[in-house]
Structure 1
């Protein structure tokens, strides 16, 4: 796999990870005891720290990207392993043989 492909996959995982870790540790103004500003949404965060979100997303994305890369290289899980819509031909033949045997 080319390094540009790995970088693109990492960036995709990073964006997904950023959205996953963003809500953790966030508190609203009511939860922190601060007063709301007129017109402010009740759910607006009082302690949003984008740097902390970026670090957490980077760590999670690195773990997920490494798992993806090693799975790609080793072939632990392939597309045929998770194909639940159309079963492989050997399973279809086995099921046909079982149906034929039970009809006798």
Structure 2
């Protein structure tokens, strides 16, 4: 695999990991005991720490990308393994 393809796949894993990481560790103003700003949603986080979230996302994305690369190299899961409707054999008929 070319390094540009690997980089593009890593960026996709990073963007996907944002949605995995964001819901965890969020504390609202009510949970912290702080006053809400007028117009603030009840579910809005009390404190948004972009650096901490970026670090968590990077760790998760790197782990997932390494697993992807190892599967690409060693072929643990192939397209035939996830072909639940036997479509690969239908094309050869």
Q: Structures share a fold, TM > 0.5? A: yes
Q: Aligned to 2:67, what secondary structure does the other structure show?
A: helix
SS of alignment partner, residue 40 of structure 1: coil
Number of corresponding residues = 89
1:36 match: secondary structure? coil
RMSD between aligned residues: 1.3
| 1:27 equivalent in structure 2 | 27
Larger Rg, first or second structure (1 or 2): 1
Is 1:46 aligned with 2:46? Answer: yes
Q: Could you list the runs of 4 or more consecutive aligned residues of structure 1 that deviate by over 3 angstroms after TM superposition?
A: none
Partner of 1:72: 72
> What is the TM-score with the length of structure 1 in the denominator?
0.80
Q: Gaps (5+ residues) in structure 2?
A: none
**1:63 matches 2:75:** no
Give the TM-score, by structure 2 length. 0.88
Q: Which runs of 5+ in 1 are unaligned?
A: 90-104
Deviation (angstroms), 1:41: 0.8
